[in-house]
Amino acid sequence: MTNITINGVTREMNSTEQAEYDKKQTDWNSKSAERKLEKIRNLRLQKLQETDWMAMSDLTMSDAWKTKRQSWRDIPQNNSTEAEYDAILERDANGVLTNAIWSDA
Amino acid sequence: MALSKIDLDSAGVTGTLPTSNLDTVGVAQGGTGITSGTTDQFLKFTGTTTLASAADNAGNLVKLAQANSLVNTATVNIDSVFSSIYTGYRFLCTFKSVNSDVHCTFRWRDGGSDLTVSQYYGSARGGYVDGSGAGAQSFSDWGSSSAKVADSMNNNNYNGLHLDMLLYPYNNTGVANIGSIDNASNIIWQAQYWADPDRQEQVSGGNTYTQTTVPDGFGFDLSAGDFDGYNYALFGYKG
């Protein structure tokens, strides 16, 4: 049984509360891939914003950077499984993203 | 010959004077000028040479609740704590999550039940830093059944969620009505936590629950799994 706490007093959930709790866990777990894709989208947006200055009218963006930025935009259509999302989100012990897709051009 | 002075030491007088024989020492002589008070009263000055006992009014910032535990629990609720004598409340807490990649949500409560009408509107904005650099963080609720106060918390191997929250529960009576002229219950918070994946994150946010139900408490839970522990204190603001 799962616990519930009210005013510092902890007790076990009743059957109704436990059923609601279990349903919430199931719903959350079923959306694991969606949440990972959302994280990837946020990282992608950040990377694109950090390099937007290269697209200013008085600059010429290199082909390498054009390709790199396009590869970020294409992540969702080129990756669709949770295992692929995990690979894209992989980090080293210092928290640094390790997938080559995030490296500079 | 009349005695002008008794040398008690020389006379060898000992013993205890009956209380009835003792006079109250006046304030001008360094006494309190009073003979008794009631439990929890203080002495206070009422003028240059007068003193009085006064009730302990506990000040205008009153601690209403405090608890901590390291026992796993799915929810942390604080019920039946609001009163019309307070204009607002401050809630300080630390929460730890058993699981990673979960968010922490807040709900108003009344009569022992969550208030879950889909009328929670709020947003939070802040930033994060990790091994790859710093960035912006934001999340929001629009017509949700709860208010998200921390996004993607990490598990109990990492530092937990530290929350500093102001609460203005709707109340149509008493001084609390000052904070309820917009017919809603409101919160304003700042949060600092170690997030998943492995990054420090901080946000400040606000949320309004556009219902005129008068809450008597509030609670927190996680999008999945249990709290590994909690430590909180709730204070009420008078005036």
If asked whether residues A54 and A89 sit together in one domain, one would say: yes
CB-CB under 8 Å, A46 with B65:
no
Is A44 in the same domain as A23? Answer: no
Question: What mean pLDDT do residues B124-137 have?
Answer: 90
- pTM value is 0.79
Residue B1 has pLDDT above 80, yes or no: no
Q: Which pLDDT score is estimated for B40?
A: 64
Q: Lowest-pLDDT range, A89-93, B38-42, B75-79, B163-167?
A: B38-42
Are A23 and A36 within one domain?
Answer: no
Q: A47 and A88: one domain?
A: yes
Range 50-69 of A in CB contact (< 8 A) with B: none
**Centroid of chain to Cα B152:** 26
Report pLDDT for B13: 79
Tokens of B186: 């409101």
Cα dihedral sign, B218-B223-B224-B228: negative
Share of chain B above pLDDT 70, in %: 85
User: Could you tell me if A45 and A19 lie in one domain?
Assistant: no
Flag if A5 and B136 touch (Cβ within 8 Å): no
Residue B58 has pLDDT above 60, yes or no: no
- Does residue A52 sit in the same domain as residue A89? yes
Is B116 near chain A, with CB under 8 Å?
no
Block means of pLDDT (10 residues each) for chain A, length 105 residues? 95 95 94 93 91 91 94 95 95 88 89
Compute how many other C-beta atoms are within 10 angstroms of the C-beta atom of residue B48: 7
- A91 and A54 in one domain? yes
Residues A50 and A99 reside in one and the same domain:
yes
Residue A102's domain comprises 32-105
| Segment B135-163 mean pLDDT | 94
Burial A26-44 (b: 16+ CB within 10 A, else e): eebeeeeeebbbebbeebb
* Same domain assignment for residues A23 and A69: no
Distance from CA of B69 to the nearest CA of A (A): 8
Q: Provide the number of structural domains found in chain A.
A: 2
Looking at residue B178, its pLDDT comes to 64
The reply to whether A68 and A19 lie within a common domain is no
pLDDT at B68: 96
Check: complex ipTM more than 0.90: no
A44-71 pLDDT tens trace: 998 999 999 998 989 899 999 999 999 9
Q: Say if residue A3 is in the same domain as residue A47.
A: no
Please check whether residues A21 and A44 belong to one and the same domain: no
